[in-house]
Amino acid sequence: MARSAGHVYAGEATLRFEVSKVLDAIEGRLTTDPALARAVLDLSEVVRWADLDGGRPASMLRLGLIIDALGRHVAEENVPVYAVVPRSLLSDADLTSNERMVVRRWADDGVVEVVPQLGDRVLEVAELLGLPVLTRTRAEQFRDRSPWVEEPGRLLAAVPGAGGPVLVARIGRGEVPAVAEPSPVGRKLLSRVWGCPESTCAAYGSGGDPDSPFADMRKTTSPVSQPPPTLLAGVPTCPRHGSRLRDAGPRPAVEVLSVRIDGVVRKRFVVSTEQPVVVGRAPEGGGVMLGQWLTDDARKWISRGHVRLALRGPELSAQDVSTNGTGIRPDGSLNDDERVTLSRDETRALGPNDVVELYANVHVGRAKLWHNGGVSQPHSVMAEAPTMAIRKFER
């Protein structure tokens, strides 16, 4: 029996809502923050990998499939990617109107990087930040201008797999990308804050006229998390606007930390000299919330705001702000006799390998301490995806 028009429209509306939820989940894994990104990709390439789902010529949902594949590859939850978007994708007729609107919003909010022409920008970002590239292009096509692509694990191709797409190293035998280290040039660029003449530039702008009625709605990237400039004839340049950037002074120092619970790296976050971070069950006013990953006993023990992490120059410190105290395990020692307990408001400088312990097996430490994320099936950004959504969702 044929369905009524009302049922059809209701079904389409439900499908659109579900797809929008997936795109929102994907947005949470996008970043242009050099300290947090784990890989870089060309979004216009990824959306056309139709063999991953057998669906439409172009689909934004394929980005979610690739993000899930990266999470499985590095065995880690909440892995963010750095997406470069050629401006032509914002009006690509093969995407739905909703998808085009979402990409434009991501561009305006600075969670993806938009460039007039793609050129070598993906390779440039990968080289400056030490990131792998998610691409199906073979190394031979990059070798002459980017010899570093011959390093094992720097080019990762997505291929269909039984449980979803898998990443295969073009060179090497499936090497897992290490925590990125910027190149010497990248390190120099990331040591400065840059300003774009376009005041509303999401990456290097100031947000425009502060007296504008829309000023508080504009999103600008914090100086701490600015992406690397592109280099044109050796001059730092805005990749979106092509404008020469001005040097606005030294960039705040940062330290990348990881939350590891029951052996699984759940989240990476950044502490800077300008912004201490509180970690706890559910910190007030922002911070790193652990509640969703805790057992009932851990939830009872760990305070809403438990430990405050701050960076002063090169020194990272932990200050207990909890009810039950914070543990420090020097050099990550498992020996309870070596564990140091901080009392309320007590502060301790952390050594390079020290681990902060909020509860048994609830740890915070420098991201470089844990190369294996410890989870074989990370939480999927595609969990809310409706069955056959990629095929059925029409413009």
- Report yes or no on 164 lying in a domain: yes
Q: Does residue 258 sit in the same domain as residue 223?
A: no
Q: Does residue 296 sit in the same domain as residue 198?
A: no
pLDDT at 28 over 80: yes
Q: Does residue 141 sit in the same domain as residue 241?
A: no
pLDDT value, residue 9:
47
- Per the model's pLDDT, the better-predicted residue between 270 and 219 turns out to be 270
pLDDT value, residue 149:
87
- Report yes or no on 381 lying in a domain: no
pLDDT at 4 over 70: no
pLDDT at 76 over 80: yes
- Report yes or no on 393 lying in a domain: no
Using pLDDT thresholds of 50, 70 and 90, give the confidence band for residue 372.
confident
- Report yes or no on 230 lying in a domain: yes
Question: Which residue, of 178, 203, 230, is where some domain finishes?
Answer: 178
Q: Does residue 214 sit in the same domain as residue 359?
A: no
Question: Torsion over CA of 183, 189, 192 and 197, rounded to 10 degrees?
Answer: -160
- Report yes or no on 390 lying in a domain: no
Q: Does residue 124 sit in the same domain as residue 152?
A: yes
pLDDT value, residue 237:
98
Average pLDDT rounded to a whole number, residues 92-117: 95
What is the pTM for the complete model shown? 0.88
Q: What's the domain range around 349?
A: 254-369
Which has the minimum average pLDDT: 67-81, 170-184, 344-358? 170-184
**What percent of the chain lies above the pLDDT cut of 90?**
72
| In the chain, alpha helices (H) | 5-27, 43-46, 61-74, 97-109, 121-129, 184-189, 296-301, 389-392
Q: What is the CATH number of the domain that holds 80?
A: 3.40.50.11980
pLDDT at 66 over 90: yes
271 SS3 class: strand
Total domains, the chain? 3
32-58 pLDDT, tens per residue?
Answer: 999 999 999 999 999 999 999 988 999
Using pLDDT thresholds of 50, 70 and 90, give the confidence band for residue 67.
very high
Q: Does residue 240 sit in the same domain as residue 274?
A: no
Q: Does residue 29 sit in the same domain as residue 80?
A: yes
Q: What is the CATH number of the domain that holds 355?
A: 2.60.200.20
259-275 pLDDT, tens per residue?
Answer: 999 999 999 999 999 99
- Report yes or no on 24 lying in a domain: yes
Which has the minimum average pLDDT: 97-101, 218-222, 333-337, 384-388? 384-388
Question: Which residue, of 178, 202, 236, is where some domain finishes?
Answer: 178
Q: Does residue 262 sit in the same domain as residue 307?
A: yes
HEC states along 132-170?
CEECCCCHHHCCCCCHHHHCCCCEEEEECCCCCCEEEEC
pLDDT at 3 over 80: no
- Report yes or no on 387 lying in a domain: no
Buried b (16+ CB within 10 A) or exposed e, 295-311: eeebeebbbbbbbbbbb
**What percent of the chain lies above the pLDDT cut of 70?**
88
- Per the model's pLDDT, the better-predicted residue between 210 and 92 turns out to be 92
Q: Does residue 142 sit in the same domain as residue 237?
A: no
Average pLDDT, the chain: 88
Using pLDDT thresholds of 50, 70 and 90, give the confidence band for residue 174.
low
pLDDT at 216 over 50: no
87-103 pLDDT, tens per residue?
Answer: 999 999 999 999 999 99
pLDDT at 178 over 70: no
Question: Which residue, of 178, 208, 223, is where some domain finishes?
Answer: 178
Q: Does residue 127 sit in the same domain as residue 258?
A: no
**Are 349 and 312 a contacting pair, CB within 8 Å?**
no
- Report yes or no on 183 lying in a domain: no
Average pLDDT rounded to a whole number, residues 160-189: 85
Q: Does residue 209 sit in the same domain as residue 328?
A: no
- Per the model's pLDDT, the better-predicted residue between 16 and 350 turns out to be 350
pLDDT at 209 over 50: no
Average pLDDT rounded to a whole number, residues 303-313: 96
CA 172 remoteness from chain centre = 25
Buried b (16+ CB within 10 A) or exposed e, 227-259: bbbbeeeeebbbbbbeeebeeeeebbbbbbbbb
Q: Does residue 274 sit in the same domain as residue 234?
A: no
